[in-house]
Amino acid sequence: MSPIRRPALAAALAGGLALAALAGCGGGSGFDSTASSSGAIKVLIGSSGDAETAAVKKAVAAWSKQTGKKASVSVANDLAQQLSQGFASGKPPDLFYVSTDQLAGYAGNGSLYAYGDKLSDTGDFYPNLVQAFTVDKKLYCAPKDFSTLQLVINTEMWQKAGLTDADVPTTWDQLDAVAKKLAASSGAKAGLTFSPEYARIGSFMAQAGGGMTNADQTEATVDSSANVTALDYVKKLLTDGAAAYSSTLGAGWGGEAFGKGLAAMTIEGNWLIGAMASDYPDVKYRVVALPAGPKGPGTLAFTNCWGIAAKSGHKSDTVKLVDYLTTAQQQIRFADEFGVIPSVKSAAEQWQQQQPGYAPFIAGADYAQNTPSTQGSADVVSDFNSQLETLAKSDPKTILASVQKSLAATMTQ
Amino acid sequence: MTRGSGRRRIQLHHTRDGWLFVAPVLLILGLFLVLPVLMAAWVSVSDWHGNGSPFASGVGFVGLDNYRSILSGGGLAERDFGTSLRNNLYYVVLVVPLQTALALFLAVLVNQRALRARGFWRTAFYFPSVTSSVAITVLWLFLFSTTGAVNRLLSFVGIHGPNWFQDPDGLVHLLLGRLGVDSAPGALADHGAIGITWWDWLAGPSVAMTAFVAMAIFTTSGTFMLLFIAALRNIGEETDEAGLIDGANSWQRFRYLTLPQLRPTVFTVVTLGLIGTWQVFDQIYTGTQGGPAKTTLTPAYLSFSSAFNNQQWGQGAAIAFILFAIIVVLTLGQRWLLRERS
């Protein structure tokens, strides 16, 4: 910590505002006009690693070569911050990743160009992905790819505990039973692990027939009895020795705990496959569907889209670039190169035949629930996460009631 | 007459030249300090949401709405702000006295003529201060992990160390838990301030925050040690010798002769400490991002995340100004406390 600093407000805000300050006081009128249309299309991505960066760079370069339009790809360290800075300064990148929880904020303040109707074909996208990026009946951006959660099992530990294929859990009770058995006799510290957050535990809420909101995301339904059932069950898993949070096991996320052999099962998305291959290549595992809850199967879907800035000077060219990047052919290339599931059905089905290991994740798309994406919901979810960390010691009803209050407040605004 | 106007002309020249010489500094300060501060002040009372210039025509004045929503809105924004104030308050209350005391102790130690290799010790104690706070945070994350060096060390004396940076339990709550008080007494649970109950205000710093407290003391004591060394050198040995002749023991000489003469330095150190600890940001940003369970959330980090991650720029700026007010009030308060009493 450096004890000598500028006043608080300057420290916190000067960085972001300096550019805006210069422009705002420099006579101004030229500032709000659209950025110049000369120069290359700027693409800003939040990359999961070298494989993704290289794949996106290659695809954009191929498009440039084909069309003769210049485009450059850069990788953000902190995408949300860099985008916010870009929007505030009036010089945002033309094309960038947008996550569902950021969408409403950017759409709400007019930073995003809603280009859904300009795309050449939106019919092949998975419908719930299209819904995830639709605000006020306008499709803001094209789904880039998606991921779902499923159950991942360490096969060696599974056998060591004397379990067979017939024991793969399909109900909550079975999951509880095998997790306990694995905890007792597989050598792992815990039978099942997942990180203490809605983005994992929400799958149990979906299986119980609950969710954060109704299907249209117009009403908060956090305190529903289905959600209470789900959290009661998760609390039971955590307290009866079946499951432990990855943080309790000393791991940063479920995949790390699973890869290190601290737990025999985990709930993670398809990004796990890439992580296992690069970090824990010796661990043998299989992916199965999450067990069904009282209201049938359920999982969560996570997705990003290709956002275009409202202040972009290359709107029509950038839409063409998105068209190119979301074709079935290109998405299969991305899938091969960094393991994401294509956002268009035809590509996902084709790719599933090539990579049967991903089948449960792809199958999840048909029944997966979207995470809340309304304005202010990101804050509520992080508050929910902070309360879930102490779930083992708390009353699920109290947690859900407080989150309900917060989420409802953001929706009536 | 002529002489008088000539002098005035010279003075005029002087004034003009003076302004010319300070102009670059004024320009830089104005551009990078005054202007952003004024802009932030405007943002804090506007409904600007981070798109384009805050002075554009579409941005409206909303009065104190942003301040109201974080101080009395009843929503999540208020609760988050209350939580961050609580966390930072415990951080300040622990860090400032401890680092000041440690810095003074180290300075007295290093200043003793009997000590060998004084230069080495001075450098050793000062070293953490010159290391980047990000590097130290990463080091801390390793040291305080479940299987890290700190927990290994604790295990030698038979203590099962906590999962430091993942443990949201407050120290006061843990202590009360030992005494059998697990849940809040009704009066404390039902009432509160700034969105969180009195019971939660009393939670104390979380285990995770305690690790940050240790880190702050470790890194900053060295800096303040230097200030104290300089002050100790200034005092000279005459008063100390006079005390010796009068038969005062070494503690009495320190307490009644040295310490009163260090008052201005103590004021400086405590002021800098207060400002630094209320603005703690980099450790949180690189270390925990406010977690676990928001127990390391601080106003400075909350200000950043409301603005950059949630597009609530008005609230972010409002938090920054409230933080500014807190720091000013506390500094004035301690100046009054440490004033020379005649």
Per residue in A54-65, pLDDT tens? Answer: 999 999 999 999
Per-residue pLDDT, B146: 80
User: Which listed CATH number (3.60.15.10, 1.10.3720.10, 3.50.50.60, 3.40.190.10) goes with A148-301+371-412?
Assistant: 3.40.190.10
**Domain co-membership, B114 together with B227:** yes
B296 closest CA partner among B196, B194, B195, B213: B213
Phi, psi values for residue A190, rounded to 5°: -135, 150
Return the residue of B nearest to A107 by Cα.
B51
Return the residue of B nearest to A34 by Cα.
B52
**Domain co-membership, B239 together with B122:** yes
Q: In this complex, how many residue pairs, one in chain A and one in chain B, have their CB atoms less than 8 Å apart?
A: 189
**Domain co-membership, B41 together with B75:** no
For the cut 90, the answer to whether the pLDDT of residue A283 exceeds it is yes
The average confidence (pLDDT) of chain B is 87
Residue B55 sits at the chain A interface (C-beta within 8 Å) = yes
Residues of chain A found within 8 Å of residue B220, distances taken between Cβ atoms = 1, 3
Please work out, in degrees rounded to the nearest 5, the angle formed at the alpha carbon of residue A372 by the alpha carbons of A85 and A118: 65
Per-residue pLDDT, A159: 92
Mean pLDDT per 10-residue interval, chain B, length 342 residues: 62 84 92 91 89 82 89 84 94 95 91 80 86 90 87 88 83 85 73 82 90 93 91 84 87 88 90 92 90 89 89 92 93 85 64
Return the residue of A nearest to B284 by Cα.
A1
Q: Give the count of alpha carbons within 13 A of A8, CB side only.
A: 30
CB contact under 8 A, B316 and A14: no
What residue type is assigned to position A108 of the chain? G
Q: Are the beta carbons of B141 and B212 closer than 8 angstroms? A: no
Host domain of residue B107: 68-170+205-337
Given the DSSP bridges, would you call strands A142-154 and A341-342 parallel, antiparallel or unpaired? antiparallel
Q: Which of B31, B147, B294 sits opposite A386 (nearest CB)?
A: B294
Upstream peptide bond of B292 is cis (omega within 30 degrees of 0)? yes
CB contact under 8 A, A13 and B317: yes
**Domain co-membership, B96 together with B107:** yes
Kindly state the average pLDDT of the residues A65-72: 92
Instruction: Kindly state the percentage of chain A with pLDDT values over 70.
Output: 90
CB contact under 8 A, B52 and A108: no
Beta bridge partner(s), residue A42: A72
**Domain co-membership, B157 together with B229:** yes
Residues of chain A found within 8 Å of residue B224, distances taken between Cβ atoms = 3
- For the four alpha carbons of A200, A206, A210 and A213, in that order, the dihedral sign comes to positive
User: Which listed CATH number (2.40.40.20, 3.40.190.10, 1.10.10.10, 3.40.50.300) goes with A38-146+303-362?
Assistant: 3.40.190.10
Per-residue pLDDT, A8: 41
DSSP A394: S
Per-residue pLDDT, B197: 84
- Measure B342 CA to nearest chain A CA, in Å: 31
Per-residue pLDDT, A34: 41
CB contact under 8 A, B55 and A2: no
Q: Are the beta carbons of B210 and B266 closer than 8 angstroms? A: no
**Domain co-membership, B59 together with B78:** no
Given the DSSP bridges, would you call strands A263-269 and A142-154 parallel, antiparallel or unpaired? antiparallel
Q: Are the beta carbons of A150 and A361 closer than 8 angstroms? A: yes
**A4, A17, A391, best to mutate vs chain B, most B CBs in 10 Å:** A17
Kindly state the average pLDDT of the residues A12-27: 37
- What span, in angstroms and rounded, lies between the C-alpha atoms of B178 and B328? 38
- Measure B229 CA to nearest chain A CA, in Å: 18
Calculate Rg over the CA atoms of chain B. Answer: 25
A15 closest CA partner among B290, B297, B285: B285
What residues contact residue A55 under an 8 Å CB cut-off, 6+ apart?
A333, A334, A337, A338
Q: Are the beta carbons of A263 and A192 closer than 8 angstroms? A: yes
Identify the H or E element spanning A200: helix A198-207
Q: Which of B36, B281, B310 sits opposite A379 (nearest CB)?
A: B310
Helices of type H across A302-395: 315-325, 328-338, 345-354, 359-364, 377-388
- What span, in angstroms and rounded, lies between the C-alpha atoms of A213 and A371? 9
Per-residue pLDDT, A413: 54
Q: Which of A25, A81, A387 sits opposite B308 (nearest CB)?
A: A81
**Domain co-membership, B287 together with B324:** yes
Per-residue pLDDT, A11: 39
- pLDDT tens digit string along A306-335? 999 999 989 999 999 999 999 999 999 998
Residue B304 sits at the chain A interface (C-beta within 8 Å) = yes
What residues contact residue B116 under an 8 Å CB cut-off, 6+ apart?
none
**Domain co-membership, B84 together with B227:** yes
Per-residue pLDDT, A242: 92
**Domain co-membership, B45 together with B104:** no
For the cut 90, the answer to whether the pLDDT of residue A274 exceeds it is no
Residues of chain B found within 8 Å of residue A90, distances taken between Cβ atoms = 52-53
Q: Are the beta carbons of A188 and A264 closer than 8 angstroms? A: yes
What residues contact residue B311 under an 8 Å CB cut-off, 6+ apart?
A84, A105, A106, A108, A109, B49, B50
Kindly state the average pLDDT of the residues A17-35: 37
Identify the H or E element spanning A275: helix A271-279
Q: How far apart are the first and last CA of chain B?
A: 49
Residue B76 sits at the chain A interface (C-beta within 8 Å) = yes
- What span, in angstroms and rounded, lies between the C-alpha atoms of A335 and A349? 12
Helices of type H across B182-262: 186-190, 198-201, 207-235, 238-245, 250-253, 259-261
- What span, in angstroms and rounded, lies between the C-alpha atoms of A340 and A103? 20
> Domain end: B15, B47, B65, which one?
B65
Residues of chain B found within 8 Å of residue A250, distances taken between Cβ atoms = 145-147, 163, 166
- pLDDT tens digit string along A167-186? 999 999 999 999 999 999 88
Q: Which two tokens stand for residue A7?
A: 């006043």
- Measure A27 CA to nearest chain B CA, in Å: 11
CB contact under 8 A, B76 and A409: yes
- What span, in angstroms and rounded, lies between the C-alpha atoms of A45 and A78? 10
| CATH code for the domain of B134 | 1.10.3720.10
**Domain co-membership, B35 together with B157:** no
CB contact under 8 A, A105 and B310: yes
Per-residue pLDDT, A373: 84
- For the four alpha carbons of A218, A220, A225 and A230, in that order, the dihedral sign comes to positive
**Domain co-membership, B23 together with B149:** no
Report domain extents, chain A.
38-146+303-362, 148-301+371-412
CA separation (Å) from A186 to A49, A183, A257, A273, B324? 33, 6, 14, 22, 55
- pLDDT tens digit string along A222-255? 999 999 999 999 999 999 989 999 988 988 899 9
Phi, psi values for residue A28, rounded to 5°: 80, -40
